[in-house]
Amino acid sequence: MLDASGLELLFTKARTPLRWTTRPVEEALLRQIYDLVRMGPTSGNCCPARIVFITGSSGREKLRPALSAGNVNRVMGAPVIAILAHDPLFFEQLPKLSPGEELRSWFAADVGLSEETAFRNGTLQGGYMIMAARALGLDVLPVSGFDQSVVEDAFLAEWGWRANFLLCLGYGDFAGQPERAPRLEFDQACRIVE
């Protein structure tokens, strides 16, 4: 079990930054994050998430037109912008990822099932990425305010991947940041059914 400091790092003290420092994020750390993400469970070990890391100015400028106006400064200031995507043809990897399970044919025969599975499990892997980045000392900003088709055309079309959300990575500048926004209590958000 994680101790209190580990829980603080991942949840109770972690904050979403509004601004970023200029401290760079090394490629080795991005690889370390992915090595943690890939170990998180997905249904049938389908692992549909695909990630494009934007680290340079040319990639940022390709991304800029896709961003909603309120997200431009926060996103463009991040040292790394990850596009969390999923591969609709993830099932082509299932013979390797789930040998002996014969899962490929289920998904290859049902586009609706494969798209739903790819989106759901790719989103799950995006959550793992948030936790992995925090566990390795980075701050994260998930972003859904962008034009999906622009991102897909600019960054994902070559592989046929579908964009889900953006995840900004770096070291936050928390000076003057307001208090954490409230969260729902257990009884407001949960039910126990016997």
Three-state secondary structure call for residue 82: strand
What confidence score (pLDDT) does residue 40 get? Answer: 98
Q: Quote the pTM value.
A: 0.96
Q: Which helix (H) or strand (E) holds 51?
A: strand 49-54
What confidence score (pLDDT) does residue 101 get? Answer: 83
pLDDT under 70: residue ranges of the chain: none
What confidence score (pLDDT) does residue 182 get? Answer: 96
CA distances from 67 to 13, 18, 73 (A): 28, 16, 10
What confidence score (pLDDT) does residue 184 get? Answer: 98
CB contact at 8 A, 76 and 20: no
**Interatomic CA distance for residues 77 and 181, integer angstroms:** 22
CA dihedral 149→155→156→158, nearest 10 degrees, is 120
